[in-house]
Amino acid sequence: MRIYLPADAAAKALGAEAVAAAVLREAAARGVAVDLIRTGTRGMIWLEPLLEVETDAGRTGFGPLTVAEIPALFDAAFGDHPKALGSVERIPWFAQQTRLTFARCGRIDPLSLAAYEAEGGLTGLRRALAMSDADIVAELTESGLRGRGGAGFPTGIKWETVRKAQAERKYVVCNADEGDSGTFADRMLMEGDPFSLIEGMAIAGLGTGAEKGFVYLRSEYPDAIAVMTRAVEIARAAGLLGGDVLGSGRAFDMEIRAGAGAYVCGEETSLLNSLEGKRGVVRAKPPLPALEGAFGKPTVVNNVISLATVPVIFERGAAHFRDFGLGRSRGTIPLQIAGNVKHGGLFETAFGLPLGAIVNDIGGGTRSGRPVKAVQVGGPLGAYFGPDQFDTPFGYEEFDGQGGLIGHAGLVVFDDMADMGAMARFAMEFCAVESCGKCTPCRIGAVRGVETIDRIRQGDAAAIPLLEDLCETMKDGSLCALGGFTPYPVLSALRLAPEDFAPRKEAAE
Ligand SMILES: Cc1cc2nc3c(=O)[nH]c(=O)nc-3n(C[C@H](O)[C@H](O)[C@H](O)COP(=O)(O)O)c2cc1C
Ligand code: SF4
């Protein structure tokens, strides 16, 4: 009997290790031969630990499981059970998705290169190996892929700048710092399908002339670090990395570096400083990292999802990817739905779904059952969207037009109990704590912002224009988006719920 159970950190946090041990114990006690394969997660976090059994009709699922429910599962011969979900891939939440980047995640043993290849892995790299560097970059440009780390910069243009740069060494750096609140796509991908990131980085190397890659991975992701480290070793032993990639005579190798944990180290220039062993302070641009990046050499810095999406683009062709989406937002996007929501998890879909459909239809509304008050989209620097903006389609330009951003596509849902004044204060406080200190509008402005919001909340309404003024200064004068975008959550909270900035009658709450 073949059983699949995630070893993803989210599933583990919900008890997957104990369930795995119980399955093996019960199987041994009953003399049942079980082949237990640990996978990544399918992304339906409210169903974890989600166990799947291979049947003639495909994989059927059971979840969320507890240890106490395992004996009954064996009694029922993995059939009729209170936690039976039927075919996992026909669960409507899963079936509605368009899984391109996450196609294998939750299906395969993340460290089995054979399983990776059996499900389409390495097809893209093999195709790229037969192409010139210019053709590789042209194909990527044609796909319309934009950076999934936050800024949405066209990936093809970045690669072309590095490709054209003259230097004896170039680098590919994967940004796996994933600091945005409510986001976990990078972690899920690295724990569930690490070879897709390795393959994407190798294609980036071929396209730009870089022979060395680094994954800058946050230290708070020990499971992802372990899986990625092992995957690189396996890839090297299999000839996928090293001096002769898949026997092509081309070289590409990579290493995993752990960051010490600072939000600003996700900003690409600060990341490069940290990668080089320096303090994580933002560098002034120009020079662009594409021309003077890691160790002063031309460098592609791309997010995990940007790079892990590259193999499927080369496997199926740029047009296949480009056909999905809306306007200038092409392809699919892994939405990460979190906060006060019934069905939290990762939902990969083409750009274009209205925000309200994501929150209410996919997320199922709030877990508390109370009305939605706000959704923060795009991490701690993203704006709060209210239900009056729920018809906004999920796309870079569409969110920008509403005074927001999609960032890394994290959505954090709040019900009507949320105190938006407190959330605005938190945004300023977060900026003050995480500021790298290089520029004044952010370093000093964020501290003044906390003080000004406190004044307003103590009844000094005349300080509201001062707060708005300060936000303008931070927007226009900050060197990077940490100081420059903190006004988004602050001003959107003020727009959405000005009453939350008035003194609170604690006793009445
Ligand atoms: C304060 C701050 C934090 C950031 N954190 C991340 C992060 O955790 N991961 C990420 O990929 N990009 C992050 N970015 C964006 C990066 O600077 C950069 O745009 C990105 O790595 C480029 O890759 P992409 O084009 O593939 O998105 C951050 C930017 C700022 C200003
Ligand atoms: S905006 Fe803040 S984090 Fe960015 S460079 Fe200035 S001080 Fe540093």
The minimum-distance atom of ligand 1 relative to the CA of 178 is 8
In a domain, 509, yes or no: no
Residue 492 host element (H or E): helix 487-496
In a domain, 166, yes or no: yes
User: 254 C-alpha vs ligand 2 centroid, how far in Å?
Assistant: 29
- Residue-level pLDDT at 506: 59
CA dihedral of 105, 110, 113, 119, whole degrees rounded to 10: -20
Cα distances from 121 to residues 109, 115, 137, 314, in angstroms, run: 13, 8, 20, 11
Q: What pTM was computed for the model?
A: 0.97
CA dihedral of 58, 64, 70, 75, whole degrees rounded to 10: -50
In a domain, 40, yes or no: yes
Query: Comparing C-alpha atoms, which of 462, 434, 9 is closest to residue 223?
Result: 9
Find the farthest-apart pair of alpha carbons in the chain and give their distance in angstroms, rounded.
Answer: 75
Cα–Cα distance for residue pair 194/205, rounded to 1 Å: 17
User: 292 C-alpha vs ligand 2 centroid, how far in Å?
Assistant: 20
Of 378, 398, 415, the residue that ends a domain is 415
The minimum-distance atom of ligand 2 relative to the CA of 438 is 7
CB atoms within 10 A of CB 62: 26
CA dihedral of 431, 437, 440, 444, whole degrees rounded to 10: 50
Cα–Cα distance for residue pair 409/180, rounded to 1 Å: 9
Q: Taking a C-beta distance cutoff of 8 angstroms, is the pair 452, 470 a contact? A: yes
The residue whose CA is least distant from atom 19 of ligand 1 is 151
Task: Identify each DSSP E strand in 191-331 by its residue range.
Answer: 212-218, 253-259, 299-303, 325-326, 329-330
What backbone torsions phi and psi does residue 429 show, to the nearest 5 degrees? -65, -40
Please choose from 478, 485, 488 the residue to mutate so as to test ligand 2's pocket, defined by most ligand atoms within 8 A of CB.
Answer: 478
In a domain, 107, yes or no: no
10-residue mean pLDDT series, the chain (509 residues):
97 98 97 97 98 94 98 94 96 98 98 98 98 98 97 97 98 97 97 98 98 97 98 98 97 96 95 96 96 98 98 98 98 98 98 98 98 97 97 97 96 98 98 97 98 97 97 97 98 97 68
Q: Are residues 331 and 308 in the same domain?
A: no
Which ligand has its closest atom nearest to the C-alpha of 220?
A: 1
Q: Taking a C-beta distance cutoff of 8 angstroms, is the pair 310, 140 a contact? A: yes
Q: Are residues 37 and 9 in the same domain?
A: yes
In a domain, 106, yes or no: no
The minimum-distance atom of ligand 1 relative to the CA of 180 is 8
* Four-residue CA torsion sign, 488, 492, 494, 499: negative
Please choose from 268, 272, 433, 436 the residue to mutate so as to test ligand 1's pocket, defined by most ligand atoms within 8 A of CB.
Answer: 268
Say which residues have a Cβ less than 8 Å from residue 48's Cβ, sequence separation at least 6.
Answer: 6, 8, 10, 11, 14, 16, 41, 63, 64
Q: Are residues 220 and 147 in the same domain?
A: yes
- Residue-level pLDDT at 504: 75
Q: Are residues 365 and 492 in the same domain?
A: no
- Residue-level pLDDT at 61: 98
Q: Are residues 476 and 392 in the same domain?
A: no
In a domain, 103, yes or no: no
Query: Comparing C-alpha atoms, which of 75, 105, 47 is closest to residue 364?
Result: 47
User: 331 C-alpha vs ligand 1 centroid, how far in Å?
Assistant: 19
Any idea which residue has 């897709």 for tokens? 196
End-to-end CA distance of the chain: 55
Structural domain boundaries enclosing 475: 420-501
The residue whose CA is least distant from atom 8 of ligand 2 is 436
In a domain, 100, yes or no: no
Q: Are residues 223 and 126 in the same domain?
A: yes
- Residue-level pLDDT at 508: 44
User: 142 C-alpha vs ligand 2 centroid, how far in Å?
Assistant: 34
Specify the length of the chain in residues.
509
In a domain, 507, yes or no: no
Any idea which residue has 């019960």 for tokens? 26
Number of domains in the chain: 4
Cα–Cα distance for residue pair 334/434, rounded to 1 Å: 26
Query: Comparing C-alpha atoms, which of 412, 351, 409, 349 is closest to residue 385?
Result: 412
Residue type at 503? Answer: P
Q: Taking a C-beta distance cutoff of 8 angstroms, is the pair 505, 485 a contact? A: no
Could you tell me the CATH number of the domain that includes residue 14? 3.40.30.10
CA dihedral of 183, 186, 190, 192, whole degrees rounded to 10: 60
Reading the block at residue 154, the tokens are 């066209």
Q: Are residues 29 and 134 in the same domain?
A: no
Q: Are residues 36 and 168 in the same domain?
A: no
Q: What angle do CA 132, 136, 141 make, to 5 degrees?
A: 145
Q: Are residues 332 and 220 in the same domain?
A: no
- Residue-level pLDDT at 505: 67
User: 173 C-alpha vs ligand 1 centroid, how far in Å?
Assistant: 12
The minimum-distance atom of ligand 1 relative to the CA of 270 is 17
Of 287, 322, 357, the residue that ends a domain is 322
The minimum-distance atom of ligand 1 relative to the CA of 218 is 8
Reading the block at residue 474, the tokens are 């931070």
Cα–Cα distance for residue pair 201/205, rounded to 1 Å: 6
- Residue-level pLDDT at 338: 98
User: 425 C-alpha vs ligand 2 centroid, how far in Å?
Assistant: 18
Distance of CA 61 to the CA centre of its chain: 25
CA atoms within 13 A on the CB side of 492: 28
Could you tell me the CATH number of the domain that includes residue 347? 3.10.20.600
Could you tell me the CATH number of the domain that includes residue 195? 3.40.50.11540
Of 42, 64, 95, the residue that ends a domain is 95
What residues are in contact with ligand 2 under a 6 Å CB criterion?
264, 282, 435-439, 442-443, 478-480, 482-483
Q: Are residues 139 and 246 in the same domain?
A: yes
Reading the block at residue 201, the tokens are 């980085």
Cis peptide bond N-terminal to 298, omega within 30 = no
Q: Are residues 183 and 299 in the same domain?
A: yes
What residues are in contact with ligand 1 under a 6 Å CB criterion?
147-151, 153, 175, 177-179, 263-264, 266-268, 301-303, 306, 480-482
The residue whose CA is least distant from atom 4 of ligand 2 is 480
Residue type at 193? Answer: D
Q: Are residues 307 and 213 in the same domain?
A: yes
